Amino acid sequence: MSLSCSHLLCGESSSSVISPGGGDYYSSDLDSRPPDAVESIAGLLEHESDLAGLSSFSAVDQPIDASIRSEYIAWILKVQRYYGFQPLTAYLSVNYFDRFVCCHHLPKKNGWPLQLLSVACLSLAAKIEERLVPSLLDIQVEDAKYIFEPKTVQRMELLVLRVLDWRLRSISPFCYLSFFAHKIDPSGTYTDFLTTRAKEIIFSTIQDTSLLECRPSGIAATTILCAANDLPKFSLVTAQQAESWCDGLNKDEIMMIRLKMKAKKKPKVFPQLPVTYRASI
- What confidence tens digit (pLDDT) does each residue in 209-237 have? 888 888 899 999 999 999 999 899 998 88
Domain membership of residue 26 (yes or no) is: no
User: DSSP letter at 131?
Assistant: S
Same domain, 69 and 132: yes
Please check the confidence at residue 268 and state whether its pLDDT lies above 50: no
Domain membership of residue 77 (yes or no) is: yes
CATH number at residue 148: 1.10.472.10
Same domain, 69 and 97: yes
What pLDDT does 106 receive? 77
Domain membership of residue 88 (yes or no) is: yes
Domain membership of residue 72 (yes or no) is: yes
Same domain, 64 and 161: yes
Estimate the crossing angle of helix 66-83 against helix 112-129, to 10 degrees.
40
Domain membership of residue 141 (yes or no) is: yes
Please check the confidence at residue 143 and state whether its pLDDT lies above 90: no
Report, in this order, helix, strand and coil percent for the chain, each rounded to 5: 55, 0, 45
Domain that holds residue 114: 60-170
Same domain, 150 and 72: yes
From 105, 140, 170, the end of a domain falls on 170
> Do residues 73 and 94 touch, judged by C-beta distance below 8 A?
yes
pLDDT digits (tens, 9 = 90+) for 92-106: 999 999 989 888 877
Please check the confidence at residue 14 and state whether its pLDDT lies above 60: no
From 125, 143, 170, the end of a domain falls on 170
What pLDDT does 25 receive? 35
From 170, 199, 217, the end of a domain falls on 170
Our count of domains for the chain comes to 2
Same domain, 133 and 88: yes
